[in-house]
Structure 1
């Protein structure tokens, strides 16, 4: 009996020492994270923590918030030295009660992680409709990037309450299908890792359809391409 008590005491003491000083990780619901494309709206100043406002262009997460504009907080000494324009946001919802509407913070309050420059190209509704009806200018589009550019995206129009877009490389090296409802609009595809060349996008929807063609090109690329 004495040996059993000694064993239990030693075991519990060991566990206590191992856990001492360790922070328990709590799982955060996915709704507390935001990954989105956005456009810079304004710099709001601040003291230790600085604030900027962004208008959401495309939300890749299931985060819910009122309106389309959010406020992002980050430490002034972890601010991104680049000028904000269109960006890729990777943020956490501020976990405490606050009077700031739609307030999100960068991971570790580091803007270099949470706010990254993004190149966003757009195919608008009018152009796609012109291709569908044959009544508009439907010349193939060309989207370009520099060799060092990261986070490149293409935003396309919604075709109605439900939209399906099939994208394909002319040389059959790429195929991808997007299917979304209106609350998931706009359709968006990441171009970052796609090779230079010609592509087609075919839409099936109740309010818009048909095919558009576009090319991707990289300036300053090597002979082997990107």
Structure 2
């Protein structure tokens, strides 16, 4: 089937088999998009969860480094250098934790939230309008069936008038619901392009900003005492 840009609104009233066939293609596309969006959201929430876990992990690491000096080691001679070194690294970890926390917030706001809004607003709107369109179509079919069963020989003009009014009202309702439904399906074809790109841009921007901030941290070097260097190693840290 050749690519189709949109459902023609002028064909909504005709409700021809060709129009219904084309409508089914748009409905299938919307269903596929809904399934994909749900899976994409799960993947993005996993990324956010991992980043949030990194925040909690670095907080715990910083606290644990500071807890060294509170330990009652049986052999604690020369621990002053170790304590000062761990204090320094605790500060470095705290700085990194700030970056992880900022990134987690940015991922929540610019990656996860947009895809949730797209699902809850656009996809839910299409799903709701589909249900309303189905109800209106069923009402129209029932009213047409009632009209077709009217007696041709002993026709009651009052009953006929009521049924004709019912058919007209059902047809207006179906036409209105089909117009709204077609518009939503057409709009979805354009909105999904932005919906797919916006969260990825948010992810990329957040990661780029994080690494820029990380690389901007000044290079620092710890100078432990001479005895500490002889006994262990010289510790240096480069951000």
TM-score, normalization by structure 1: 0.20
Higher relative contact order (CA 8 A, sep 6+): 2
What's the TM-score once normalised by structure 2's chain length?
Answer: 0.19
Q: Please identify which structure carries the higher helix content.
A: 2
Structure number with larger C-alpha Rg: 2
